[in-house]
Structure 1
Amino acid sequence: MFNRMTLMTAAATLAFVATAAAQDKNPMVGGAPMFSNKTIVENAINSKDHTTLVAAVKAAGLVDTLSGKGPFTVFAPTNAAFAKLPAGTVETLIRPENKATLTKILTCHVVSANALSSAINKMIADDRGTHPVKTVGGCVLQAKKDGNRITLTDEKGGVATVTIADVRQSNGVIHVIDSVLLPAS
């Protein structure tokens, strides 16, 4: 009886763990697993595709903010997205004297909500194709659909496409994007 009870308890525990692991399934980003029990910063640090973003977040002094409770939605540009900027832009922005400009740019990628792609898609549909997204940096992005993907148009007319959606974090969600979003000024 004892062995049977122990076996049943072990089986139930394994089933619970397997179910929890399936619910915690997040896409790999930059070759690294993203864990829903880690913060935006803790996960971003492990993505080889987001080393420029992490360096910029550190230079802007936003590590503590993006490690905070949230919730935050971060539209996270990849290294390739930053590479699309004119030569020398990133190097110039991370200088201490340009911290305010860098902070403005980075906070135009952050929304103070936990906005999964299903919610964004619904807002786009409800607003007949374009939904304004207000960021913590004061920018207003225009969310639209391009086929099955969400796009964001910044205040300068630049367009970023969400390439990986719904990367859950303990303090929000990340959507990986292929271009850097810029404020009007």
Structure 2
Amino acid sequence: MKKSIKNAAIILLAFVAFSCSDEGNTALKKSSIGEIARATPQLSSFVEALDITGLTSTFDNAGDYTVLAPDDAAFDAVLSAFSEPDLATLEADYPGLLAKVLKYHVVSSSVLSTSLSNDQSVSTLFEQPLTVSIIPVDSANPATYPGQPNFISFIGNNTTTPSSANVTARDVKCTNGVIHTIDAVLIPAGL
């Protein structure tokens, strides 16, 4: 639990340091989703997956996206589940899988956590929806995300492989959208 809190704090600190939401700092206002992801050590596997699939430029250029960025531990769990040593080997053994999975983590508009509602269906670029689960944080049980009014999860429609992820850092505003960091890689149905 301490490790989860520490990881969430590090991710949040990196996002605050590089977030584009600071109106008074024009250098920060020019940070894209790709730039912030590259500047966040816990998202190095996400960045590597973007590079392998050729999707990096999508998140460096203009656009309006919400990215659910799995942290490094989430990608490690996927590599372990597939018995693969690294993402490049995973892509070589399962061509196209990474691009499909990454598109399942992207919404084609900016969606802040305050705009989400419980049981809301969110369309992804992979054209399979995710369902939002929002649980208010009880003051007697603040979960592992202190200071947050609620606990947010995204739930996939894959019935053969459980596919849900908890938001560990939210609402990182960028020039081309917003990032929410999640603790699992969501696997769409049929993969």
Q: TM-score, normalised by structure 2?
A: 0.73
**What residue in structure 2 maps to residue 158 of structure 1?**
163
Query: Equivalent residue for 1:135?
Result: 124
**RMSD over aligned Cα atoms:** 2.0
Tell me, what secondary structure is at the counterpart of 1:103?
helix
- Indicate the residue corresponding to 1:168 in structure 2: 173
Count of aligned pairs between the two proteins: 151
Q: Aligned-pair distance for 1:99? A: 4.4
What residue identity is the alignment partner of 2:19? F
Alpha-carbon separation, structure 2, partners of 1:115 and 1:69? 16
Name the counterpart of 1:179. 184
What residue in structure 2 maps to residue 42 of structure 1?
35
What TM-score, normalized by structure 1, do the two folds share?
Answer: 0.75
Identity score, percent: 32
Deviations for 1:138-163, whole angstroms, at most 9, x for unmatched residues? Answer: 12111111331110011224210101
Where does structure 2 lack aligned partners over 5 or more consecutive residues? 1-10, 21-28, 137-149
Shift of 1:62: 0.3
User: In the alignment, does 2:17 pair up with 1:33?
Assistant: yes
Q: Is the contact between residue 35 and residue 168 of structure 1 (CA under 8 Å) also seen in structure 2?
A: yes
Distance between the aligned counterparts of 2:49 and 2:90, measured in 1? 8
Contact 1:52 1:78 in 2 (8 A): yes
1:103 matched to 2:87? The reply is: no
Amino acid at match of 1:170: T
Uncovered stretches (5+) of structure 1, i.e. residues with no partner: 1-25
Specify the structure having the higher radius of gyration (Cα). Answer: 1
Matched, 1:60 2:57: no
Letter in 2 for 1:152: F
